[in-house]
Amino acid sequence: MKILVVGDVTSPSGVKHLEKNLWRLREREGIDFTVVNGENASFITGISKELAQTLLKSGADVITGGNHTLSNRAAYTYLEDSKEVLRPINFGDGAVGEGYTILDAMGYRMLVISAMGNVHIEPVLDNPYSYIDRLLKKEEGRYDFSILDIHAEATGEKLAIGHAYDGIINIIFGTHTHVPTADEQILPGGTGYITDVGMCGETGGILGMDKECVVQRMRTRTPAKFKSADGECLANGVIFTLDTDLGRVVGVRRICF
């Protein structure tokens, strides 16, 4: 089974890019299941119902979340009703929506978990380990394979999650920094891993944003309204090849499209 994960969608233009290119890539690469991190699809204000539905129609099977997912209160009802759009599980039981889902993938039951780290990121949520451990115990026997998006700033924190669940969760990928890392690998226990997938959005700026306004904020420490960069859109992704007989990942490849 080939599983594609796509890094943070940074703007509505990134959504349009996937609308145009994602099914084409899936067909060319023979992708069976796709996870897209869409927490920034509305450009720093979470994700809207309309943009989420566009991503799902465009080839995303699941949309994972992050620190901005709950910024758009207008999408709360949709988050409650949708099985395909997630927010980090460690927002807690009192938050709207769900932090995981189990969906069909080529006849297999695929568990997808969205979680968020604690280091150098806001809001500071509960420890993700306890939520993940509790979930895996609760759903034991109800899924065949599993995927975890760990949305976190610190590379070490993401690597720790990878090693903690090596051989337990089949695929673990990091999001949030918008910069793809070059450490795609298969961990000793057979888990496919990468520290950060990257992003899907406008190039030519800083993490998808206009470089002048970012530099101004950094240089002067004064407010400046963020706006999207003005370069062409590109999407960073990773293709994991999962051997369903062995129950382990046998291939990991970065792509840009």
Domain boundaries, the chain: 2-202+231-256
Over the range 84-110, which residues count as b (16 or more CB within 10 Å of their CB) and which as e? ebbbbbbbeeebebbbbbeeebeeeeb
Split at pLDDT 50, 70, 90, the class of 74 is very high
Backbone angles phi, psi at 43, to 5 degrees: 65, 80
Q: Model confidence at 212, in pLDDT bands (50, 70, 90)?
A: confident
pLDDT value at residue 227: 83
3-state secondary structure of 239: strand
The confidence score (pLDDT) of residue 67 equals 95
For 2-202+231-256, CATH gives: 3.60.21.10
Query: How confident is the model at residue 192, as a pLDDT?
Result: 99
Q: What is the pLDDT of residues 119-145, one digit of tens each?
A: 999 998 999 999 999 999 999 999 999
The amino acid at residue 101 is T
pTM of the full predicted structure? Answer: 0.95
The band of 11, judged by pLDDT with boundaries at 50, 70 and 90, is: very high
Q: Mean pLDDT across the chain, nearest whole number?
A: 96
Round to whole Å and give the CA distance between 83 and 101: 6
pLDDT at 217 over 90: no
Nearby residues of 153 by Cβ (< 8 Å), 6 or more positions away: 117, 119, 120, 121, 176, 177
Q: Which residues are catalytic?
A: 68
SS percent in the chain: helix, strand, coil, step 5 = 30, 30, 40
| C-alpha to C-alpha distances, 182 to 46, 140, 186, nearest whole angstrom | 27, 33, 13
